[in-house]
Structure 1
Amino acid sequence: MSLETLLVFKSSYSNKFWKISVAENSFAVTYGRIGTAGTVRVKEFPSIEACEKEAYRLIESKLKKGYQPAEKLEQVVVESTMTESSFWQLVDRCGDYGEDSLDHMEWLVSHLSKKPVLDILIFDSIFKEHYAKSYQANLWAAASIAMGGCSDDSFDYFRAWILYLGKEVYYEAIDDPESLLPYLLLLQEQEGIPQLEELLFVASSAYEEKTGQEFEEYLKLYDQLMEEDDSGLGIDLDWDEDDEEGLRNMFPTLWEAFHENPL
């Protein structure tokens, strides 16, 4: 079952909305003052039937209290201000706050936590979209050369680090991993590594800071409201980490810089 109901309550002293979105055995309720993004809560049930029953009960309860179905053209809930452009702007801005990547992530979490929950979710959705696109064999090979080997987890954190470098660097790295050389050499000077695990949890940390709810609650809310299908995510490695000749031929510049002195 898929059900979405939007109700409003207007009087001389009140101007609010209430919306419920049902999907399988859970629903999300959004409520607040008309013209705002509102507050979101998710509840999970042991069965689809129990979820539907409670959803209809809540709808009937609201109607009895004087709520009315919202007009189709009525601007009740403010759309999210989080866009592709604002996502990259935030990634760029975080570099202005603090001395290192951890300081930057702290600022980003704090900044996002002041935004509506929907903005936090959409930020995460945009991040995950680009993060998935970076799941490529050639980038994994480049990471393996730079770090003298690269596990699954290390590649996850490597891809997050690439996103942290910004839009232009990210897209250029997708097309040509050797374009990362200047940033990798800078890390070598700083005795750092090209990994940023913290970026993977910026959105959920912002949600926790904003609401006080745990990571599991964030995942439920994200799955409820952000319809995504990552079933097609896969990779076919066309290189072997033990094939030094092959890796050198793939990325000669990276090989020259790091094969004897990996990060």
Structure 2
Amino acid sequence: METLLIYNDGSSNKFWKIYVAGNTSTVTYGKVGTIGSVKTKEFQSEEACQREGEKLIQSKLKKGYVFAQSSHQIVKESTMTEAQFWELLETCKEKGEDIDEQIEWLVTHLSRKPVKDIVMFDFIFNQYYYKSYTSNLWAAAYIVMGGCSDDCFDYFRAWVLYLGKECYEAAIENPETLLPYFKLLEEQEEIPQLEELLYVASIAYEEKTGFDDEKYFKLYDQLAKDDYIEPELEFDWDGDDEEGLRKKFPLLWGAYGENPL
């Protein structure tokens, strides 16, 4: 259930929106044309959540709110764009001498933004992150690190994304374009993993609101409506077939096949 109401008495022009899914309701409210503020509430049952939602709607109608014919120009979904997302990743690299300081800056920066912007940052991140779930990229990670579990591949993909849009897109097309970045990590005695990037949004939300990641993920489901389901990958390579991996990515194998990071 999703309902959008507006109120205009000449001096006040505001909106109130409720979205109910399962046993959780999300209310967004504020001045028309803004992204507004967000509140979520969890109930013991779907029925109780639905009843409370209907009760709140009736209460608003009694106060003079009316049903909006369209959400166009009433609710601004977010100020976070894809361009801003990539710009933030580039900017945070300049905000610290090491990755921990950079991620800390990113968390703090996001925590000062509206909740919707935090969620949208996470949503944009996830859309690109999903696209990196490929057999080729996993094979590259396997070669370079001498093996790669599910979790390891998750952290590897986050690292690839952190390199920036151009590097990310090139790596999806051809993982061997990552070779210079692997060489740099080798010099630094590091590995291509960035688990921390996966939790930036939920930590920023906790810093902003005081609510934990469980609350955040429920809010994410409500606002982002991200229905992605991780597919079953069909590998065109075998970790035990060294010759096959060598032929698949000769440059990566030549650099790390015998001496992985």
Q: TM tier, shorter chain?
A: over 0.9
Q: Post-superposition shift, 1:241?
A: 1.2
Q: Post-superposition shift, 1:207?
A: 0.9
Q: Deviations over 1:96-154 (max 9, x none)?
A: 11012221111111111111111111111111111111011111111011111111111
Distance of 1:211 and 1:16 partners within structure 2: 23
Is contact 1:10-1:16 (8 Å) kept? no
Report the counterpart of residue 242 of structure 2 in structure 1.
244
Is contact 1:9-1:68 (8 Å) kept? no
Distance of 1:25 and 1:188 partners within structure 2: 49
Q: Amino acid of the residue matched to residue 122 of structure 2?
A: D
Q: Amino acid of the residue matched to residue 4 of structure 2?
A: T
TM-score, length of structure 1 as denominator length: 0.92
Distance of 1:73 and 1:132 partners within structure 2: 29
- What is the DSSP-based 3-state SS (H/G/I as helix, E as strand, rest coil) of the residue aligned with 1:96? coil
Report the counterpart of residue 57 of structure 2 in structure 1.
59
2:5 equivalent to 1:6: yes
> Structure 1: which 5+ runs fail to align?
none
Q: Post-superposition shift, 1:82?
A: 1.1
Distance of 1:248 and 1:232 partners within structure 2: 28
Distance of 1:9 and 1:212 partners within structure 2: 33
Assess, with a 3 A threshold, how the Cα gap between structure 1 residues 188 and 73 changes in structure 2: closer, same or farther: closer
Report the counterpart of residue 147 of structure 1 in structure 2.
145
Q: Amino acid of the residue matched to residue 55 of structure 1?
A: G
Distance of 1:96 and 1:209 partners within structure 2: 22
Is contact 2:4-2:71 (8 Å) kept? no
- What is the DSSP-based 3-state SS (H/G/I as helix, E as strand, rest coil) of the residue aligned with 1:7? strand
Q: Amino acid of the residue matched to residue 60 of structure 2?
A: K
- What is the DSSP-based 3-state SS (H/G/I as helix, E as strand, rest coil) of the residue aligned with 2:93? helix
Assess, with a 3 A threshold, how the Cα gap between structure 1 residues 73 and 260 changes in structure 2: closer, same or farther: closer
Name the % identity: 61
Equivalent residues in 2 for 1:1-263 (5 A)?
A: 2-8=1-7, 10=9, 12=11, 14-70=12-68, 72=70, 75-231=73-229, 233-263=231-261
TM-score, length of structure 2 as denominator length: 0.93
Q: Amino acid of the residue matched to residue 18 of structure 1?
A: W
> Structure 2: which 5+ runs fail to align?
none
- What is the DSSP-based 3-state SS (H/G/I as helix, E as strand, rest coil) of the residue aligned with 1:79? coil
- What is the DSSP-based 3-state SS (H/G/I as helix, E as strand, rest coil) of the residue aligned with 2:5? strand
Q: Post-superposition shift, 1:155?
A: 0.4
Q: Post-superposition shift, 1:16?
A: 3.6
Report the aligned-residue RMSD.
1.8
Q: Post-superposition shift, 1:11?
A: 6.0
Distance of 2:228 and 2:70 partners within structure 1: 32
Q: Amino acid of the residue matched to residue 118 of structure 2?
A: I
Q: Amino acid of the residue matched to residue 28 of structure 1?
A: T
Distance of 1:185 and 1:203 partners within structure 2: 30
